[in-house]
Amino acid sequence: MEKYQAVSKNIALVMDQVEFVNGKTRVYGIVGDPIEQVRSPEMVTWEMQKRDHNALLIPMHIARDEFDSVMPHIMRMRNLDGLIFTIPFKAQAIALAKTLGPQASQIGAINALKKHSSGAWSGEIFDGIGCVEAFKQKGITLQDKRLQLIGLGGAGSAICVALAYEKPKLMRLFDINPQTTERMAKMVNTISPQTVIEVGLPHAEGIDILLNASPVGMLNDARLPLAVEQFKKELIVFDAIVMPENTPLLSLAHDCGCQFVRGREMMLGQISKIVDYFFAP
Amino acid sequence: MEKYQAVSKNIALVMDQVEFVNGKTRVYGIVGDPIEQVRSPEMVTWEMQKRDHNALLIPMHIARDEFDSVMPHIMRMRNLDGLIFTIPFKAQAIALAKTLGPQASQIGAINALKKHSSGAWSGEIFDGIGCVEAFKQKGITLQDKRLQLIGLGGAGSAICVALAYEKPKLMRLFDINPQTTERMAKMVNTISPQTVIEVGLPHAEGIDILLNASPVGMLNDARLPLAVEQFKKELIVFDAIVMPENTPLLSLAHDCGCQFVRGREMMLGQISKIVDYFFAP
């Protein structure tokens, strides 16, 4: 009987070593082109397995010109329950959703798609929601605050909409494209009519929270996204940039004794909210 | 700076905890309907990661009536490098392969599909190859041996073909369907013209190795697949059945002091050979 037991142990050993996937695992994917740089597979899988879900998120590399034809078929995989979209698919992916969350409707883009038990798929964009969540995690409320937001591109417009839903007292908006600024100002007004809206060159006077969602300060760019030499220490500073962690703006905020919120905290906040969304009933 | 470091540690912690998937992971899948019972996700992933490949195998539940339309699109995923097929798709999947291995050509079914660097997909069936590998792992050669094979269905026909490629001295074949037996006898003759072929009711006289690939003895079936009361101790006995591990046939072999090879060893042998196939240049 020793031979029997030896083989049984062998199998048990395998089953013990690979605890993260089995036949019952629910599959999620992040879809992008390119895909190798994404961090969601580790981070979302960690968040899901930490919450005791038998689920993991894999990278899915779909070519740009095949996205529209391939995705509806991939979504027929019965044990696929959700998708995240990254560059260049956030706008295109909206066509895959039967229903949209409020922020996706405003922005015209999604980065998460969730299958309901009915089989229907709904989409929402979480870039801005992740930013708001990062503030909440630090006990900072946005309601009735005076905000300066710099940059209203892909991430910036999503952050702008999410901030508006928090009903701040004032939002100053700046983007290098004045038409974009104008469009986002109208959107903020629709979402939160009581918020005072200002547009123009960015500054930190009369502002409680300064948010950068422009690319200024990314990688080896040593510039600040606004003309300033120092901040009052009561100012709270946010930078959406993930690389480097230590942007010129956050360095200045740190040197001035300001509280700050970083791009990676927004990323973690976003992951937490996307996993909430995926597993909500 | 402590705040910076705290967040960095947090991220590093996540990356350390989830070592099994990231943006560069190559994806493999097992396709079946149903899917929850499969063991390949743990076992193939374990085999791949043990060999230091950044790869994992996920369950893919595709409905029977959607297989033909969905699969060619799933195969457009650029970081998907291989597929395994289980019930009910082994015959149907052959249409997805541009080229076939020798055993798949004989059987008319595949259970593994591999993407070459050219982007072309080739298929092979490994049920029989896994059986032969299990014997090799125990140092048992099949060449010039006298074999009795019982059962020539899905797994049995694949085992029959793989055994024939080993050029045994004699093969006695039995299946409850005489036409199946006739067809497989011809196939063995084509593959190994020097092998003596016998058909008829199974027995262990004048036989070196007795192989059961019939379902007799599965689960709570207490029957033996042939009329026998005991074996000579020189006989080697194989049973393709995985559940239970301890089949009536293997119990008798054990009681008679015979060497034996089990269904799970065939399964492990098959996984090893499939991973060889996936990662061969």
Report the chain B residue with the minimal C-alpha distance to residue A55.
B58
**B144 and B112 within one domain:** no
Least confident of A3-12, A99-108, A139-148, A196-205: A3-12
Q: Domain for residue A196, yes or no? A: yes
Q: Of the candidates B108, B145, B166, B244, which has an alpha carbon nearest to the alpha carbon of residue A8?
A: B244
**A199 and A104 within one domain:** no
Partner residue facing B21 (CB), from A33, A58, A262 = A58
Say yes or no for a CB contact (<8 Å) between B46 and A76. Answer: no
Q: Between the CA of residue B249 and those of A8, A154, A169, A277, B270, what are the distances in Å?
A: 18, 66, 80, 52, 22
Q: What is the pLDDT of residue B281?
A: 86
Report the chain A residue with the minimal C-alpha distance to residue B37.
A23
Mean pLDDT of B120-134: 97
The answer to whether B168 touches B144, Cβ cutoff 8 Å, is yes
Report the chain A residue with the minimal C-alpha distance to residue B32.
A23
Boundaries of domain holding B49: 2-125
Mean pLDDT of B161-190: 97
Tally of structural domains, chain A? 2
| Residue B130, CB-side half-sphere exposure with 13 Å CA sphere | 25
Q: What is the pLDDT of residue A50?
A: 92
pLDDT in tens, A252-268: 999 999 999 999 999 99
Which chain A residues are within 8 Å of B42, Cβ to Cβ? Answer: 14-15, 18, 21-22
Read off the pLDDT band of B5 (50, 70, 90): very low
The helix/strand/coil state of B15 is helix
Spatial separation of the C-alpha atoms in residues A104 and A119, rounded to whole Å:
20
Q: Of the candidates B31, B40, B18, which has an alpha carbon nearest to the alpha carbon of residue B72?
A: B31
Which chain A residues are within 8 Å of B70, Cβ to Cβ? Answer: 73-74, 76-77
Q: Domain for residue A41, yes or no? A: yes
Q: What is the pLDDT of residue A6?
A: 47
**A116 and A11 within one domain:** yes
**A232 and A116 within one domain:** no
Q: Domain for residue A277, yes or no? A: no
The helix/strand/coil state of B125 is coil
| Token couple for B68 | 């033909």
Read off the pLDDT band of B16 (50, 70, 90): low
Residues near A104 by beta carbon (within 8 Å), at least 6 away in sequence:
A94, A97, A110, A123, A124, A125
Q: Domain for residue A36, yes or no? A: yes
Q: What is the pLDDT of residue A65?
A: 97
Q: What is the pLDDT of residue A198?
A: 97
Max Cα-Cα span within chain B: 82
Q: Domain for residue B231, yes or no? A: yes
**B116 and B10 within one domain:** yes
Helix (H) or strand (E) holding A273: helix A263-279
Average pLDDT of chain A? Answer: 93
pLDDT in tens, B54-84: 999 999 999 999 999 999 999 999 999 999 9
Q: What is the pLDDT of residue A261?
A: 97
The answer to whether B240 touches B159, Cβ cutoff 8 Å, is yes
Is the pLDDT at A2 greater than 50, yes or no?
no
pTM of the model: 0.90
Q: Which of A125, A157, A174 is the last residue of a domain?
A: A125
Q: What is the pLDDT of residue A161?
A: 98
**A116 and A30 within one domain:** yes
| Token couple for A268 | 């973690």
Q: What is the pLDDT of residue B123?
A: 98
Q: Which of B72, B91, B125 is the last residue of a domain?
A: B125
Q: What is the pLDDT of residue B19?
A: 83
Q: Of the candidates B239, B268, B271, which has an alpha carbon nearest to the alpha carbon of residue B252?
A: B239
Which chain A residues are within 8 Å of B62, Cβ to Cβ? Answer: 76-78
Burial of A193 (0-12, 13-18, 19+ CB in 10 A): exposed
Kindly report the nearest CA distance between residue B172 and chain A, in angstroms: 28
Which chain B residues are within 8 Å of A7, Cβ to Cβ? Answer: 245, 262, 264-265
Spatial separation of the C-alpha atoms in residues B30 and B39, rounded to whole Å:
9
Average pLDDT of chain B? Answer: 93
Is the pLDDT at B238 greater than 90, yes or no?
yes
**A132 and A79 within one domain:** no
Spatial separation of the C-alpha atoms in residues A105 and A94, rounded to whole Å:
9
Say yes or no for a CB contact (<8 Å) between A36 and B24. Answer: yes
**A141 and A50 within one domain:** no
DSSP for A35-98? -TT--HHHHHHHHHHHTT-SEEEEEEE--GGGHHHHHHHHTT-TTEEEEEE-TT-TTGGGGG-S
Mean pLDDT of A87-99: 96
**B148 and B88 within one domain:** no
Read off the pLDDT band of B257 (50, 70, 90): very high
Which chain B residues are within 8 Å of A38, Cβ to Cβ? Answer: 23
Partner residue facing A42 (CB), from B7, B15, B73 = B15
Q: Domain for residue A278, yes or no? A: no
Spatial separation of the C-alpha atoms in residues A17 and B20, rounded to whole Å:
11
CATH, residue A213: 3.40.50.720
Q: What is the pLDDT of residue A15?
A: 53
Read off the pLDDT band of B103 (50, 70, 90): very high
Q: How many CB pairs under 8 A join A and B?
A: 152
Mean pLDDT of B221-234: 95
B213: which strand partners? Answer: none
Is the pLDDT at B12 greater than 60, yes or no?
no
**Any idea of the CA torsion for A137, A139, A141, A145, to the nearest 10 degrees?**
-120
Is the pLDDT at A64 greater than 90, yes or no?
yes
CATH, residue A79: 3.40.50.10860
Q: Domain for residue A35, yes or no? A: yes
pLDDT in tens, B142-158: 999 999 999 999 899 99
| Proportion of chain A above pLDDT 90, given as a percent | 90
More confident residue, B102 or B2: B102
Spatial separation of the C-alpha atoms in residues B86 and B131, rounded to whole Å:
17
Q: What is the pLDDT of residue A11?
A: 53
Q: Domain for residue B271, yes or no? A: no
Q: What is the pLDDT of residue B18?
A: 79
**B100 and B33 within one domain:** yes
Read off the pLDDT band of A3 (50, 70, 90): very low
The answer to whether A79 touches B34, Cβ cutoff 8 Å, is no
pLDDT in tens, A155-178: 999 999 999 999 999 999 999 999
Read off the pLDDT band of A5 (50, 70, 90): very low
**A86 and A41 within one domain:** yes
Say yes or no for a CB contact (<8 Å) between A7 and B262. Answer: yes
Q: Which of A73, A108, A125 is the last residue of a domain?
A: A125
**A243 and A136 within one domain:** yes
DSSP label at residue B65: G
